[in-house]
Amino acid sequence: MKGVTVRESKRAEILDVAASLFADMGYSQTSMQDIMDRTGLTKGGLYHHFKTKEAIAVAVVIEGFAMDDTPPQVGPLQAVVDASILLAWLTPRVPVVKAAARLGTDQDLEKTYGYLWTQYIPAVEKLLVQAKLREEIKPGARPEEWCFAWVAAYTGVDLMTRQDYESLPRKIATINRVFVSGFATERALAELDMRAERGRELMERSPWARQYLREAAPQASEAPR
Amino acid sequence: MKGVTVRESKRAEILDVAASLFADMGYSQTSMQDIMDRTGLTKGGLYHHFKTKEAIAVAVVIEGFAMDDTPPQVGPLQAVVDASILLAWLTPRVPVVKAAARLGTDQDLEKTYGYLWTQYIPAVEKLLVQAKLREEIKPGARPEEWCFAWVAAYTGVDLMTRQDYESLPRKIATINRVFVSGFATERALAELDMRAERGRELMERSPWARQYLREAAPQASEAPR
């Protein structure tokens, strides 16, 4: 927390607390009073940072999907696979990421609904276009179609797995196999690492994830069931 | 409505009305009072059929996903494609189907959450296993993995498209292309019809869909934008 002002640190605490509530109970079952109770803030104190519950949800979603912008040390197709594996490891472990997944797919919440895929689709498509230029992708395959289907499949798997979230990395490894086997050239396929277990190494390599998990959730680096 | 009792017809009307409300406003924003207002039923009249709003939601989801069990006159891979295209045409047009998609992916609703994919995954897997026996599928491809990924992708696309639902058939045609191109043998691929426009013919061929759309939503057989 070096160099972080009191105001920033209080804001971060509100987001952490609200994220845990949103992740576990959902948006509609979480009240501003719940957030005050858990943070110990007065109404004035909370409203100083956020005017509405919706504003907190928006901030949680934006924070939850702040992608680690360290340039990957791997090819573009491996980078897509890595992004999905890392996200699948972080989602059950980091409340703000877990809450973002839930809020970003809650159709009752217009301001956050869809934030998830509007962020990911352009990023994934850019990587798949690079992969095509590097001949990691079969000549007939269209990056924009695969990108759309892949992000949709990730979103669907995340939704389908919420009641057994520890299985997310394993299930994402399954969809990665399906997508890459239909899409990648034999040569690229032979070089890719798509194991769910790779997520543990990726968490260690991501400066953001490493710092977060050490400070805020030291138990979270344990193996999933 | 021949041979339908008053009780059944009143129950069907409640489900139609509730489905429209759930589809447009979501579960949490729809009240039993709204359903009474729109059906003209008294509290006693409504509660005679359904004790809780949740019970209505459960009935809507089950009715919305009652699959047409007419045996398909096509191969198993075409049957999977057809099921997805038909569903993508019906969802924006039939309130009970539209509501089922929304309620079945609303994590706040434990009793309906996940009904969608627990129904579809076994049905799709059965067809893909048949497709494999008929050599419509590449030797290395595993039906259970493709089935899981395909249903997840459909679910994700449905979710991603709710604010522009008329585009659903076109977007489902995109994911079908991706899945089938990575999965089907060249021979099977040459024979498949994956056009979004096929949905119009499928609606005409489905006895349930044809009857429903003629009676309840004659405007719904028009072309999507």
CA Rg, chain A, in Å?
19
Residues A94 and A54 in one domain: no
Q: What is the dihedral of CA B150, A112, A99, A51, to 10 degrees?
A: -170
pLDDT at B72 over 60: yes
Q: Looking at the domain assignment, is residue A57 inside a domain?
A: yes
B224 has a pLDDT exceeding 90: no
Verify whether the Cβ–Cβ distance A152 to B148 is below 8 Å.
Answer: no
Enter the pTM of the model: 0.91
Judge: B106–A107 Cβ closer than 8 Å, yes or no.
yes
Residues B51 and B82 in one domain: no
CATH assignment of the domain containing A59:
1.10.10.60
Report the C-alpha gap between B149 and A155 in whole angstroms. Answer: 11
pLDDT at B101: 95
Same domain, A218 and A197: yes
Give CA separation, B189 vs A170, A175, B4, B212, B215, in Å.
Answer: 30, 21, 44, 32, 37
**What ipTM is given for this predicted complex?**
0.90
B41 & B69 share domain: no
**Does A28 touch chain B if contact means CB atoms closer than 8 Å?**
yes
Residues B162 and B177 in one domain: yes
Last residue of a domain, one of B63, B80, B110: B63
Last residue of a domain, one of B15, B42, B63: B63
Distance spanning both ends of chain B, measured CA to CA = 31
Note whether B15 and B38 are same-domain residues.
yes
Instruction: For B146-173, write each residue's pLDDT tens digit.
Output: 999 999 999 999 999 999 999 999 999 9
Do A106 and B102 count as a contact with CB atoms less than 8 A apart? Answer: no
Radius of gyration (C-alpha) of chain B in whole angstroms = 19
Higher pLDDT: B194 or B1? It is B194
- At what angle are helices B6-25 and B95-103 packed, to 10 degrees? 60
Residue span of the structural domain in which A150 resides: 65-222
* Residue A223 CA: distances (Å) to CA of A92, A196, A198, A210, B128: 12, 11, 12, 15, 33
Considering the domain architecture, whether residues B148 and B161 belong to the same structural domain is answered as yes
Name the domain boundary from A39, A63, A87: A63
Please report whether residue A1 resides in a domain: no
C-beta atoms of B178 and A107 within 8 A: no
Coarse DSSP helix, strand, coil percentages of chain A, rounded to the nearest 5 percent:
70, 0, 30
Q: Look up residue B144 and give its two tokens.
A: 């259970």
Residue of A nearest to B180 (CA): A182
First vs last C-alpha separation in chain A:
31
Residue B1 lies in a domain: no
DSSP string, A26-51: -STT--HHHHHHHHT--HHHHHHH-S
Tell whether B71 and B32 lie within a shared domain. Answer: no
B59 and B78 part of one domain: no
| Predicted pLDDT of residue A178 | 95
**Backbone angles phi and psi of B215, in degrees to 5:** -80, -45
Higher per-residue pLDDT: B92 or A221: B92
Instruction: Decide if A165 touches B, using CB distance below 8 A.
Output: no
Give tens-digit pLDDT for A149-179: 999 999 999 999 999 999 999 999 999 999 9
The answer to which of A13-22, A215-224, B55-64, B135-144 has the lowest mean pLDDT is A215-224
Same domain, residue pair B57 and B110: no
pLDDT of A177 reads: 95
Residues B114-139 have a mean pLDDT of: 94
pLDDT in tens, A114-147: 998 999 999 999 999 999 999 999 998 999 999 9
In a domain, A207, yes or no: yes
Could you tell me which residue, A134 or B208, shows the higher pLDDT?
A: A134
* B91 and B113, same domain (yes or no): yes
Q: How many domains does chain B have?
A: 2
State which residue of chain B sits closest to A180, comparing Cα positions: B182
Place of tokens 């990421």: A97
- Identify the segments of chain A with pLDDT beneath 70: 1-4, 67-72, 216-225
More confident residue, B71 or B106: B106
B162 C-beta neighbours (distance < 10 Å), count: 18
Same-domain pairing of B100 and B175 = yes
Q: Report the CATH number at residue B87.
A: 1.10.357.10
Top residue of B30, B160, B179 to mutate, by most chain A CBs within 10 Å, is B160
Closest residue to B182, CB basis, from A106, A155, A182: A182
The answer to whether residue A141 is domain-embedded is yes
User: Do A63 and A112 touch, CB atoms closer than 8 A?
Assistant: no
Evaluate whether residue B131 is within a structural domain.
Answer: yes
